[in-house]
Amino acid sequence: MSTNAPKINVVWLKRDLRLEDNEAIFKAIASGERTLLLYAFEKMLIEDKHYSERHWNFIKESIIDLNQRLEPYNSKVFTVEADIISAINQLMELYTIRDIYSHQETGILVTYNRDKSFKRFCKNNLISWHETINNGVQRGLKDREKWTKMCNAYFETEPLSFSPSENQLLNIQEIDVLEELLTIPSLETPKDTLFQKGGRTMGTKYLDSFLNKRYVNYMTHISKPELARTGCSRISPYIAWGNLSIREVYRKAFFLKKTAHNKKALEAFMSRLRWQAHFIQKFEMEHTMQQESVNKGFQKLKKEISKHYQIVWETGQTGYPLIDACMRCLNETGYLNFRMRALVVSFFTHNLWQPWQAASQHLSQMFLDFEPGIHFPQLQMQAGETGTNMLRIYNPIKNSLEHDPDALFIKKWVPELRDLDIPFAHEPYLMTEMEQQFYGFHLGKDYPYPIVDMNETRKRATDILWNLRKNKKVKEESLRILKKHTLRGAKFTN
């Protein structure tokens, strides 16, 4: 690099694929230096088993949307296939880089290790790496004593604008030159999928349609597998990948509440936004949760792994219609409402008696809104391995009858059951041989028998987990967790 090379800032985009309310971009622009926006498709992440093609396609769609928003500034995101250190090294062939901006990522183990390596790289190259707070999550906390106050302050602050000065962003012609240095990925994505499309433009449409009309059904539809698809906001992928910030969503809901027809529905929605930050903060402070039970007393719990159980669960062939409908729907669309997510994890960990770690990668690959800070704490909570939460073992039949009474969701995703009367669509294993002949339907051939006895497996799981909660180590860990993560005297501002 020549000593006369022009100086630039680099904004390293990760899970913050937006221009507005992006503190990393805001600070880079505020410095007055010319700025390059960079996204790196890194091999170590592409190969990680928590990610899948649906995630990379969502990211590509988000970058395309960013580039369209950058057209008035004659700029675009410099998008490369390379690890971040290689990308910066190549940039330093043409530019002097003294400052790099990104948000603090509460990610998985490979991103944690990558960031440690990148920090050393920056130090060795006299680069200042500025990491900014993301969605109110704080780094380095030992407990939650001051967290609520800091989180409230974050949510009450006006979202940041995007207003670069003329020619402050590297222009398209300059970026075209840079593209000669590295491998540039194709941003083309499939058009005929059932997945939500990435990008802030689409995320804003979902949010606006929710706040303009759909929110009124939020409380009544949130637990229903079919109705939740429109009754819930459906913005979780846009928050997970940073097309929208939690703060701007929260504040839009906050100001709407003053004139809203259903204030309780909006308050419930806003409360879940705040709890999202709470769970990510928990993961930030307990990074071992990716692989181990947060309550170390439960690490002695051993479960016999069954690949057969895991495969039939993953593919929706368990013989329990609502479980199978949920898994097939998730595999095809990337979405399930929260209660159904809890149901399928409960069935896997309690009825099939499989370790939650064995469900982690499949679910993270399937969830379009995979967010590590939500994923791992929720897995452990539903598996009953925190020691601090109520043990919940969901009954798939009870939930089926209560939340899909007409079996519309079941028949949509398990077409083998489409021609059965409603009671048998919920419980096909109750059919007699004569009834099976009448419907032209054969258990074990057209649809599997239940893979396990629900009542027996529920009792076994309940007995083992409740007895384990009496263990000295479990109790000690429960107290440690409560001391570290309880929001004492907390009151979120609404």
Domains of the chain: 7-134 (3.40.50.620)
Instruction: Determine the pLDDT at residue 7.
Output: 97
Full DSSP string of 474-490? HHHHHHHHHHHH--TT-
Whether the Cβ atoms of residue 57 and residue 198 lie closer than 8 Å to each other? yes
Q: What does residue 368 show for φ and ψ, rounded to 5 degrees?
A: -65, -30
- How far is it, in rounded angstroms, from Cα 481 to Cα 479? 5
- How far is it, in rounded angstroms, from Cα 321 to Cα 411? 9
Query: Residues 190, 193, 197, 202: is their CA dihedral positive or negative?
Result: positive
- How far is it, in rounded angstroms, from Cα 373 to Cα 278? 9
The kind and range of the H/E element at 167 are: none
pTM of the model: 0.96
- Surface-to-core class of residue 255, CB atoms within 10 Å of its CB (0-12 exposed, 13-18 middle, 19+ buried): exposed
DSSP, collapsed to helix, strand or coil, labels residue 266 as helix
- Surface-to-core class of residue 484, CB atoms within 10 Å of its CB (0-12 exposed, 13-18 middle, 19+ buried): middle
Whether the Cβ atoms of residue 360 and residue 376 lie closer than 8 Å to each other? yes
- How far is it, in rounded angstroms, from Cα 387 to Cα 379? 13
- How far is it, in rounded angstroms, from Cα 187 to Cα 67? 11
Cβ of 323: how many Cβ atoms within 10 Å?
A: 31
- How far is it, in rounded angstroms, from Cα 476 to Cα 471? 9
- How far is it, in rounded angstroms, from Cα 196 to Cα 219? 23
Closest to 241 (Cα-Cα) out of 61, 10, 70, 78: 61
Structure tokens at 256: 């709407």
The kind and range of the H/E element at 256 are: helix 246-256
SS3 content of the chain, % helix, strand, coil (to 5): 55, 5, 40
Whether the Cβ atoms of residue 345 and residue 379 lie closer than 8 Å to each other? yes
Instruction: Determine the pLDDT at residue 493.
Output: 52
Dihedral, CA atoms, 366, 287, 203, 316, nearest 10 degrees? 20
What is the mean pLDDT for each group of 10 consecutive residues in the chain (494 residues)? Answer: 82 98 98 98 97 98 98 98 98 97 96 97 98 92 90 93 97 97 96 96 98 95 97 98 97 93 93 91 93 94 95 98 98 98 98 98 98 96 92 96 98 98 98 97 98 97 95 95 78 52
Instruction: Determine the pLDDT at residue 227.
Output: 97
Instruction: Determine the pLDDT at residue 3.
Output: 61
Whether the Cβ atoms of residue 402 and residue 220 lie closer than 8 Å to each other? no
Whether the Cβ atoms of residue 201 and residue 187 lie closer than 8 Å to each other? no
Instruction: Determine the pLDDT at residue 487.
Output: 75
- How far is it, in rounded angstroms, from Cα 291 to Cα 375? 12
Structure tokens at 115: 């960031």
Instruction: Determine the pLDDT at residue 145.
Output: 87
Closest to 340 (Cα-Cα) out of 312, 320, 311, 354: 320
Distance of CA 179 to the CA centre of its chain: 31
Structure tokens at 55: 């995630």
- Count CA atoms closer than 13 A to 5's CA, side-chain side: 13
Neighbouring residues of 150: CB distance < 8 A, sequence distance ≥ 6: 136, 138
- How far is it, in rounded angstroms, from Cα 162 to Cα 180? 28
